[in-house]
A and B are shown apart, each in its own frame.
Chain A
Amino acid sequence: MKQTARIISTYSADVMGVCSALFELDGMTVMHDASGCNSTYTTHDEPRWYDMDSMVYISGISEMEAIMGDDEKLISDIVDAAKVLKPAFIAIAGTPIPTMTGFDFEAVASVIESRTGTPSFGFPTTGMNTYIHGASMALAGIAKRFVDDPGDSKNGEGNTLQMSARKLASVLDDCCMRPNGIKVNVLGLTPLDFSVNGTDDSIVQWLEREGFEVVSKWAMGNSLDEIRRSAEADVNLVVSAAGYGAAKVLYERFGMPYAIGYPVGNELPGLLADQIILNVKKFREQGGADTFESSEISVDSGVFLNESEGVNGSTYEKGFAAVIGEGITSLSLASTIELECGIPAKVLCATECPEDILRECDRMTPDEDDIIPELQGAAFVIADPLYKPIVPESAKFISLPSEAFSGRIYRDEIPDLVDDINELLIKIK
């Protein structure tokens, strides 16, 4: 593997994913980096930078500090700034140099917390994974540290699994598959996947139209205090892999089930709503038992997997649609294309993805060399415009910009697919 990209872009990195996930939560995030990460993040990865005065900084580590292992400089710089600026929490995220010097993120965060009294995190990002890895790690950290235990404050029940099941019983209609006020957290919202075009609000509106009640959105448009209340929800909806780490933590802490999927399309959202209800119902019936794992995955079409053919004899080898991008959003879109356009659609996932989410036809494609052969035979390619140079001329290219790949360049063209997918689907039908 040469790890080369002759002409395509690079996804936002894990360190930026941490910053993006925590941006609206009133903390102070420090990228432990010499220079460059901050301007990259604030220029290309953070559309909220100009309008929201979030505290994201770099440490400005120098050659001598790195060589001499001078962690005290970083610690005292953070402590000094925190004393003045009083963030709700402090997060340190790593880049290649701290990775090489064996920087102990957890220990440094602990020292900072003891000196400031402010909850502190050390996220051992390396700058070598994608934003999904960092964002998922950061949101998991919030889930571990900041979500209040309703058992402590309301009835003192020690077993959170029992607590959750009891609570679910009060909201779930046994006879019908109806939400009846099931409370949902939406996990995995960052502008890197959903831009700032209102998609986050559209997801909430869709849930409310379906009869769900939204407790929190992780982490766009909600404060840390709102996110603290997340354990009041009955179920989590993971809309991108950035939310997967938090979903696992909330499952472990509170026994909250989760469903995975991005409500795009005319048919898929209904199936996803059913899946959310089903997961809650199964969870309740099984008493929050360990067997839940087997039914947690929601996005699941692959209707052409059994060698069946789509329209015009299309298969996953020829005449198919390829969706390139983040795992869960791409898989949801591919499922909708299969359901509504009648042609096989496979996912080329370039970012970290939960295990077993991808189907047999899908591929992990971290490098340009992985993607090019997978596009042979494609009739349609749905991807960020910066992928276009490697798309075969025989395929119809359908532009779907992503901030995580092309940054701000095509921001104005990023659609709110939850609000309207038909404009995209009509190009395939």
Chain B
Amino acid sequence: MLKKINGSQSKRLNAEEIPHVRIADANFPAPFRSGLEYSSPARGTWNIVHTGMLIPEAHEIFVCAAGCLRGVVLTAAEMGTMDRFSTVAVRENNLLDGDMEDLVIEGVTDIIKKLPKRPPAVLVYTSCVHHFTGVDLDMIYSVLRSRFPDIDFTDCYMNPIMRKSGLTPDQLMRSRLYMLLHERTIDPKAVAIIGNDLPTDEDSDLMKVLKGAGLKVHEITSCKTYEEYQQMAESRVYVSYNPDAAPGGDMLSERLGGIHYALKFSFDYDEIDATFAGLADVLGIEPRSSEEIAALRAECERELEETKRLIGDTAVSIDYTFCPRPLGLAELLLDHGINVTKVYADGIPGGDKAAFGSLQKEHPDLMFYPTVHPGMRFARTANAEEKEEGKILAIGQKAAAFEETDHFVNVVEGGGMTGYEAVTRTCRLMREAFLERKEMRELVQVKGLGCEVCIR
């Protein structure tokens, strides 16, 4: 139970006053008006530091104000990668003096000279202040490349002010991740999975298809050296399944000449079949047979039935950090009799538009809750006070935190699942979460789930 602020005896919002809307009454794609934003204590999603560190041996240098540096420095510290991380602090005099280019160039140069070992690649992250002061980034990188011809530099960005216009910082970061790849001879049997932070499940449909076809599969999450990372450039096909990786995949294809295929992450059987058929076409392999598909669907149905049988009418909440298609998952579960009552998401992903429409018609009383609305500060208090006896099963960390439940599926960003395996694995994880408690408070506060961390 949450404590009240000293001296405040009044409960600010009760459960009914917590902002929410019936899905039948919600607007696409933004069900809630934007305003002040609250920050949930759930921290499992990755940030640009975690993602950048996926490039083996690369060094990250952030050039920002102290307030912006604070979060990224401590991300690196919690990962235990401070030896691959440095900073240049932007101060007020730099804004006034207009010496921002010099600060970046000389700061980065200073750091590189002090490093005990020359890194093969340096990711330089500039920030909102550089964007607003019109800093000449081309000149900066040109000078750095001429000073350090043995180092690959790439431009990265921590400019959240741009998150509502153009590519989001997350999309940009995922595109920068592959900008360091050098063109090399293409191996027709090589494929790269790109844009995911977490390793793709060996049991996933994608991995089974690729390995079943005898292809060499590259993935940044398994690269141990910079050379291994560079070998990704030999791929004939680049496959992304995180929607935020798609723009980067297109850029990569244009630059290196391979084919980018954006596999859809979905819980809809027909859409799964269609997207895997498209992949087979690009790879030049046989698509899955109707017998194979029938078997996969039957397995999904068995898993869903078993899950329903175990959890009965237990209320289920889903949040958007679990996977790119929270509404698709809600639709699948509701259609199989599972009692999904709430979805936590601030917006509706484009890929979920069809599921949104179906849910409005078939399950109009499903409740939609935001995660950043200022009133959500009091959701945990209200839910804890109002919670009836019995379990609430949460799918995703934010749902778990808002519902104050230790019965939750602790996965972010799809967890490396693809295809029908996303259905079966989610079901298994739900049953496990139903039967076993987790230390929710401890687990959800760890940054970058699945990343190596030194904390706790």
Contacts and interface: CB of A to CB of B under 8 A. Distances in A.
Given A5-B86, A100-B132, A100-B133, A43 B158 contact: no
B452 interface: no
A2 B88 contact: yes
Nearest to B19: A84
Contact of A95 (B65, B106, B111): B65
B8 A26 contact: yes
A7 interface: yes
Contacts of B34: 60
A36 B71 contact: yes
B99 to A, nearest CB: 11
Contacts of B95: 96, 99-100
The listed residue with most B CB atoms (<10 A of its CB), out of A50, A53, A225, is A53
B68 interface: yes
Contact of B2 (A24, A30, A52): A52
Interface stretch (B206-214, B222-230, B374-382, B390-398): B374-382
A60 B37 contact: yes
B12 A7 contact: no
Interface in B310-342: none
A389 B375 CA distance: 43
B396 to A, nearest CB: 17
Contact of B161 (A25, A52, A66, A389): A66
Contacts of B86: 4-7
A57 B67 CA distance: 15
A9 interface: yes
A127 B36 contact: no
A43 B92 contact: no
A96 B66 CA distance: 10
Contacts of A425: none
A388 to B, nearest CB: 10
Contacts of A395: none
Contacts of B441: 50
A308 interface: no
Contact of A36 (B5, B66, B158, B162): B158
A7 B39 contact: no
Nearest to A37: B67
A281 B92 CA distance: 42
B30 interface: no
B72 to A, nearest CB: 8
B294 interface: no
B110 A4 contact: yes
B67 A63 contact: no
A86 B12 contact: yes
Interface stretch (A11-19, A142-150, A270-278, A283-291): A11-19
B87 interface: yes
Interface in B61-90: 64-71, 73-74, 77-78, 82-83, 85-90
B6 interface: yes
Contacts, number: 236
Given A6-B114, A86-B12, A96 B377 contact: no
B7 A386 contact: no
Interface residues on A, range: 35 or more
A64 to B, nearest CB: 7
A408 interface: yes
B87 A96 contact: no
B164 A62 contact: yes
A252 B78 CA distance: 44
Given A26-B8, A49-B41, A53-B4, A96 B68 contact: yes
A63 B168 CA distance: 12
B89 A3 contact: yes
Contact of A226 (B7, B88, B106, B158): B7
Given A10-B87, A10-B89, A53 B107 contact: no
13 contacts: A3-B91, A34-B163, A37-B71, A38-B38, A39-B39, A41-B39, A57-B377, A61-B161, A62-B161, A84-B375, A85-B375, A97-B128, A367-B89
Which 4 pairs across A and B sit closest by C-beta, in order of nearness?
Answer: A223-B7, A127-B67, A40-B71, A13-B67
Interface of B: 2-8, 12-13, 17, 34-39, 41, 43, 64-71, 73-74, 77-78, 82-83, 85-92, 95, 103, 106-107, 110-111, 114-115, 127-129, 132-133, 158-165, 372, 374-375, 377-378, 380-381, 441, 445, 447, 454-455
Interface of A: 2-16, 24-26, 30, 34-45, 49-64, 66, 77-78, 80-81, 84-86, 95-97, 99-101, 126-130, 221-226, 367, 386, 389, 406-409
